[in-house]
């Protein structure tokens, strides 16, 4: 940013933005994704200080309508911590909480809003975050909506606790645990877990679904197309985090498991539309395929090595790792890899995974290019689409 | 906000914004609104000077598409006044002309674009405003569209004259009168008066309708659904304003009455869809319910008391009251109440009203929290929905 | 605009914008356009420097969704030139490359994205531009999409070479040639040439069409409505530029011709919907109207005279003429005229033309008002709609 502070220090304003410009090329298998370029992100943001309050308003112009709002909040100090009110990320997965400018591979892992928390990366509500010695704690209460969703009375809560038993200039060990509860209600969308297992704009696989508000049900038993059942689904997810750095090396793993309540009846046609393949279990000729409660497990392990020697710093106030930064005019090279998987244990073979290899070159602390090869694998449909992707990223 | 002025003073630029983050909880009656959170406003604006011209471009990211444009204009001095060209509020109701950052209750009154001028708060056109001694005068000519409406050739005119016979540091008496004329034409939307009588996102009641351009008519006599009749409706509205401050006390009342031309034939089904209840008068079996010319009356009376003693200042250049401002680190408390009603005198019981109680706490001049209880009453449908609402507001 | 540079010069940020507020009044003939006001452009942009990289992010709030993105790119020096990656204008027609703040008539000519390159003014891709002595060279490779189009795997390439044999303070002679190749592919939209021959928001005439990706085809032979044929159309366009200034005089002409591949079968109904008039050639009763390969020719000649004496400067780095600039407090007057025509030589009378007369008054270097009279002529439909248009323009 462009930052200005008033003479008395009571007031400041800072303008920033980011451009992530991607190219996707697929090695197609059963599915037929389209090779293309895409603005993954094209954001402007304004933030600053109003006496004892902070504000931030961020819009992603690569998204349509009110769904393009990102961080939009007012915040202030409260009981040794920071109270934030508005639209922002609840304290859950460490990967989710890492800025998209600082992730080491182009897309987030399946323990985040790119999987088990699909479409729920940011929510409208209230959060409080504090830190002491080598710990951080975040607590959230939220309405189950982001600004692009319909208005609804669903709600949720989340908490995350982290511990960094080792944290010095050369090495960090981080442990974290988070817990999330979400409850759909009047006018809520369904709560789902879904993944693009072969990279952005590649094929999707629905992993789990918990019903939303009653207005999203349709059809009648015996029709070709129906989707009926209970409303007001509940989702409970627990996540564990383990991460460490040592000099230029970085490793991070997460394991998240949760229960999605069900009680849904789908016609076979709708089942196939949603899951991409016909049911591999018995569906009643009248009441269709029954989706009961679902246990979902997701995990990943990833690592990176800064070939040019930079160390990934740890932010002890938030319990998140930051990106390496080169010192201009020198650049920096980084290689990274991740194995990433998610499965629904209540459906046979409803599992998607991928292996991603990445090379990043940092021109300077604000501009980098990323290259990723993603080997996708969907056990449910049998599709094995792969992707080569390149991103040019600038942030200011 | 963030303001920069060039060395020669010919050029300036200033960046601002506002976040209004609301929570709505309903005490439901016949209608079934959804409790929810909502960004009521999430705006960025840029304004400044280009030699003898001013510019302003403001976008509300809480609205979709081109409908999110707010003040977008170029302005310059012209004959002892200010000439403004673009999209902005015509000179009508004092409540409408008050900034949403400075209103004492969370929503506008029924004499504004939240009622008799529904959806016509800002229009594209040309305006001229001047002030002398204790008077202000505003004149407007406009195309009957805001940037979110379809392009059309409807047009309108408005004028507002104010007089402040008393205006000193402790007390002000303000009188005002305004007159508005609107004429639909090719491709115009219908001109309507509609109110959300139980607060934002609560149930709506259509009060009056005057037909737009012919392309919005549909159906045939005798069908289940038809909406036919004359096109090119005209609406004439006259408003009176009375307001005063005395120390920490503030009172304001407006009375607006107008005529909406009619000539519409609606099937009973369409009537009930539009008005929320079946017709309480005779509808012809073939030609349906006839909507002729309609006389609409709207008025409100409201008051506030700054418990912590601040005085609401009066802007003698525009004829509008500004918000109280605390002096940090001190905050300010304010309580407010309003009775607000609108009725269509040509339909029996087509009347909606509400009583609103509010408490505002100002953390500093730019951040406040508002709490409103709204007791709604719709005589036409019999619904008596109430609402509790909270807003956290920051502006910079 | 609002520009800030860091102390070490490695980092800068600048905020700008533009408002073009138009009024259109039609002298209608066979077609029935709507008189209206319109924000032709309402943009904010942020650009700056990140060490050796430049960034720019520009959004037009007069357009919806991701289609509102304009220049969004990162750029850096590369081999004596500038490498640009993102969304921006490929190096083609000089008129297209001129900023909308600096064109002498309100709308672009038919050799630009307002005609032969319809909807393809900006594309996502990579470009490199250099200049030496009195030459400029631009080369581009791009995905056949702008951010508002569907993601697709179509692609294109363009090149432009210019020569300014004379270029001094009082006079310039400019010659240019450009070549463009575009190839539709999976999920591409059709590539078309279309013109609004009676000014913005006036009637359109489709001139040429080359098929896109297969998913945009519909219907079956013998139905009332079908649109079938080959997919993966290719378009090759060559353009010549000639321009000169002498003191306050300016003249510019372009000639662009190209081939649009065809292979399309349209029902007569669809033909008439697309072209605005029934086919004037034989269409087979079963397979409908055949659209084969099409040769398109477009050209214009325009001139202007700055009555108050200003000279239009030439930017030798980009091979484009800039706008005249008055010296406040003095303004400037300019008159301009253009004859503009485009035709498809493979269809009898598929030709549209217009004559435009313009008067511009510059209040200062950033604010001007434009008045245009456009006499439209569509030989295919016989329509001769005319338009009177006024624009108030501010840029900062």
Given the structure tokens 């920051």, which residue do they identify? Answer: B394
Is the pLDDT reported for residue B90 higher than 90? yes
Q: CA nearest B68 in C: which residue?
A: C61
Burial of C86: CB neighbours in 10 Å, binned 0-12, 13-18, 19+: buried
Task: Give the span between the Cα atoms of B24 and A353, in whole angstroms.
Answer: 41
Task: Say if CB A45 and CB A16 are below 8 A apart.
Answer: yes
CB B13 to CB C1 under 8 A? Answer: yes
DSSP sequence for B173-209: EEEEEEEEEEE--TTPPPEEEEEETTSTTS-EEEEEE
Is the pLDDT reported for residue B396 higher than 90? yes
Task: Give the span between the Cα atoms of C199 and C205, in whole angstroms.
Answer: 12
Task: Say if CB B350 and CB B344 are below 8 A apart.
Answer: yes
Task: Give the span between the Cα atoms of B223 and A45, in whole angstroms.
Answer: 52
Task: Give the span between the Cα atoms of A266 and A221, in whole angstroms.
Answer: 9
CB C394 to CB B50 under 8 A? Answer: yes
User: Alpha carbon C104 to chain centroid distance?
Assistant: 14
Residues of B in contact with C44 (CB under 8 A): 44, 46, 57, 59
Q: What is the pLDDT of residues B122-145, one digit of tens each?
A: 999 999 999 999 999 999 999 999
List b or e across A22-38, with b for residues whose CB sees 16 or more CB atoms inside 10 angstroms.
bbbebebbebebbbbbb
Residues of B in contact with A50 (CB under 8 A): 364, 366-367, 394, 396
Task: Say if CB C1 and CB C396 are below 8 A apart.
Answer: yes
CB C46 to CB A17 under 8 A? Answer: yes
Return the structure tokens found at A136.
């951080």
The count of residues in chain C is 396
Of B1, B19, B64, the CB nearest to A65: B64
CB B51 to CB C367 under 8 A? Answer: yes
Q: A124: distance to nearest CA of chain B, Å?
A: 7
Helices and strands: H and E segment counts in chain C? 2, 24
Residues 6+ apart with CB under 8 A from A72: A56, A57, A58, A86, A87, A88, A147, B19, B21, B39, B42, B61
What is the bridge-based pairing of β-strands A264-266 and A227-229?
A: antiparallel
Confidence at residue B240, expressed as pLDDT on a 0 to 100 scale: 98
Q: How many CA atoms lie within 13 A of A200 on its CB side?
A: 20
Residues 6+ apart with CB under 8 A from A385: A26, A27, A28, A29, A30, A31, A33, A197, A198, A202, A203, A376
Mean pLDDT across B259-267: 96
CB A23 to CB C143 under 8 A? Answer: yes
Tell me the three state secondary structure of residue C387.
strand
Residue from A330, A389, A394 nearest A368 by CA: A394
CB B151 to CB C64 under 8 A? Answer: no
Q: B35: distance to nearest CA of chain A, Å?
A: 5
Task: Say if CB A342 and CB A354 are below 8 A apart.
Answer: no
Residue from C57, C79, C109, C24 nearest A59 by CA: C57
Residue A240: phi and psi, rounded to 5, are -120, 140
Of C1, C36, C329, the CB nearest to B143: C36
Residues of C in contact with A63 (CB under 8 A): 66
pTM: 0.97
Q: How high does pLDDT run on average in chain B? A: 96
Q: Dihedral, CA atoms, C245, C250, C251, C254, nearest 10 degrees?
A: 80
Residues of C in contact with A62 (CB under 8 A): 66, 69, 147
Given the structure tokens 């462009």, which residue do they identify? Answer: A2
Residue A147: phi and psi, rounded to 5, are -60, -20
Instruction: Check residue A388 and report its DSSP letter.
Output: E
Task: Say if CB C342 and CB C371 are below 8 A apart.
Answer: no
The count of residues in chain B is 396
End-to-end CA separation in angstroms for chain A = 5
Return the structure tokens found at C301.
């000649």
Is the pLDDT reported for residue B356 higher than 70? yes
CB C74 to CB A364 under 8 A? Answer: no
Given the structure tokens 């009188």, which residue do they identify? Answer: B175
Share of chain A above pLDDT 90, in %: 96
CB A53 to CB B363 under 8 A? Answer: yes
Of B13, B55, B69, the CB nearest to C394: B55
Q: Which residues of A touch B (CB under 8 A)?
A: 2, 4, 10-11, 13, 15, 44, 46, 48, 50-53, 55, 57, 59, 64-66, 68-69, 72-74, 76, 85-87, 124-125, 143, 145, 147, 151-153, 186-187
Residue from A17, A67, A345 nearest A193 by CA: A345
Radius of gyration for chain B, computed over Cα atoms and rounded to the nearest angstrom = 21
List b or e across A316-352, with b for residues whose CB sees 16 or more CB atoms inside 10 angstroms.
bebbbbebbbbebeeebbbebbbebbbbbebbeebbb
DSSP sequence for A300-366: EEEEEEETT-----EETTTTEEPPP---TT--EEEEEEEEEEEEETTSTT-EEEEEEEEEEEEEETT
Residues of B in contact with C37 (CB under 8 A): 124-125, 143, 145
CB A85 to CB B21 under 8 A? Answer: yes
Task: Give the span between the Cα atoms of B139 and B312, in whole angstroms.
Answer: 26
What chains are in contact with A, requiring at least 3 Cβ pairs below 8 Å? B, C
Burial of B330: CB neighbours in 10 Å, binned 0-12, 13-18, 19+: exposed
Which regions in chain C score pLDDT beneath 50?
A: none
Of C53, C59, C124, the CB nearest to A37: C124
CB B44 to CB A46 under 8 A? Answer: yes
CB C367 to CB B53 under 8 A? Answer: yes
Residues 6+ apart with CB under 8 A from A194: A115, A118, A204, A205, A206, A207
Q: Which residues of C touch A (CB under 8 A)?
A: 2, 4, 10-11, 13, 15, 44, 46, 48, 50-53, 55, 57, 59, 64-66, 68-69, 72-74, 76, 85-87, 124-125, 143, 145, 147, 151-153, 186-187
- Cis peptide leading into residue A239 (ω within 30°): no
Task: Give the span between the Cα atoms of C341 and C114, in whole angstroms.
Answer: 12
Confidence at residue B28, expressed as pLDDT on a 0 to 100 scale: 94
Mutation choice for C interface testing from A37, A43, A64, A361 by most C CBs within 10 A? A37
Confidence at residue C294, expressed as pLDDT on a 0 to 100 scale: 98
Task: Say if CB A357 and CB A334 are below 8 A apart.
Answer: no
Task: Give the span between the Cα atoms of A129 and A77, in whole angstroms.
Answer: 10
Return the structure tokens found at C387.
């338009």
Task: Give the span between the Cα atoms of B217 and B229, in whole angstroms.
Answer: 8
Task: Say if CB B89 and CB B37 are below 8 A apart.
Answer: no
Q: What is the pLDDT of residues B280-314, one digit of tens each?
A: 999 999 999 999 999 999 999 999 999 999 999 99
Task: Give the span between the Cα atoms of A337 and A310, in whole angstroms.
Answer: 17
Q: CA nearest A327 in C: which residue?
A: C51
Residue from C299, C182, C196, C304 nearest C233 by CA: C182
Residues of B in contact with C368 (CB under 8 A): none
pLDDT in tens, chain A (396 residues): 678 888 888 999 999 999 999 999 999 999 999 999 999 999 999 999 999 999 999 999 999 999 999 999 999 999 999 999 999 999 999 999 999 999 999 999 999 999 999 999 999 999 999 999 999 999 999 999 999 999 999 999 999 999 999 999 999 999 999 999 999 999 999 999 999 999 999 999 999 999 999 888 999 998 999 999 999 999 999 999 999 999 999 999 999 999 999 999 999 999 999 999 999 999 999 999 999 999 999 999 999 999 999 999 999 999 999 999 999 999 999 999 999 999 999 999 999 999 999 999 999 999 999 999 999 999 999 999 999 999 999 999
Return the structure tokens found at A129.
């975050």
Mutation choice for C interface testing from B15, B51, B146 by most C CBs within 10 A? B51
Is the pLDDT reported for residue B2 higher than 80? no
Q: How high does pLDDT run on average in chain A? A: 96
Of A61, A201, A392, the CB nearest to C74: A392
Mutation choice for B interface testing from C57, C61, C64, C66 by most B CBs within 10 A? C61
Q: A35: distance to nearest CA of chain C, Å?
A: 5
CB A19 to CB C55 under 8 A? Answer: yes
Residues of A in contact with C71 (CB under 8 A): none
């Amino acid at each position: 940013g462009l930052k200005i502070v008033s003479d008395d220090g009571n007031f400041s304003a800072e303008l920033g933005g980011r451009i992530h410009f991607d190219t996707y090329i697929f090695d197609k298998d059963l599915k037929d994704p389209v090779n293309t370029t895409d603005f993954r992100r094209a954001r402007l943001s304004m933030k600053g200080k109003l006496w004892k309050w902070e504000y931030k308003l961020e819009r992603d112009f690569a998204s349509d309508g009110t769904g393009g709002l990102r961080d939009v909040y007012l915040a202030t100090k409260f009981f040794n911590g920071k109270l934030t009110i508005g639209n922002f990320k609840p304290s859950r997965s460490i990967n989710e909480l890492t800025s998209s400018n600082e992730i080491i591979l182009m897309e987030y892992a399946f323990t985040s809003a790119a999987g088990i928390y699909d479409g729920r990366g940011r929510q409208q509500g209230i959060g409080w975050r504090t830190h002491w010695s080598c710990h951080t704690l975040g607590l959230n209460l939220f309405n189950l909506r982001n600004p692009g969703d319909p208005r609804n009375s669903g709600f949720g809560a989340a908490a995350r606790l982290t511990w960094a038993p080792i944290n010095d200039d050369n090495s960090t060990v981080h442990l974290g645990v988070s817990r999330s509860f979400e409850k759909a209600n009047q006018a809520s969308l369904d709560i789902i877990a879904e993944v693009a297992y072969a990279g952005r704009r590649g094929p999707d696989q629905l992993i789990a679904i918990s019903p939303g508000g009653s207005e999203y049900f349709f059809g009648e038993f015996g029709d070709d197309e129906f989707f009926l059942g209970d409303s007001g689904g509940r989702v409970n997810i627990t996540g564990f985090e383990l991460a460490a750095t040592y000099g230029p090396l970085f490793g991070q793993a997460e394991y998240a498991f949760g229960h999605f309540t069900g009680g849904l009846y789908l016609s076979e046609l709708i089942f196939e539309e949603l899951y991409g393949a016909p049911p591999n279990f018995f569906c009643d000729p009248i009441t269709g395929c029954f989706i009961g409660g679902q246990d979902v497990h997701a995990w990943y392990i990833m690592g990176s090595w800064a070939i040019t020697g930079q160390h990934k710093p740890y932010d002890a106030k938030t319990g998140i790792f930051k990106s390496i930064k080169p010192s201009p005019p020198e650049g920096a090279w980084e290689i990274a890899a991740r194995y990433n998987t998610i499965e629904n244990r209540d459906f046979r073979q409803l599992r998607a995974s991928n292996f991603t290899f990445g090379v990043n070159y940092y021109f300077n602390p604000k501009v980098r290019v990323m290259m990723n090869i993603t080997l996708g694998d969907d056990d449910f449909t049998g599709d094995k689409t792969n992707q080569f992707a390149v991103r040019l990223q600038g942030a200011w």
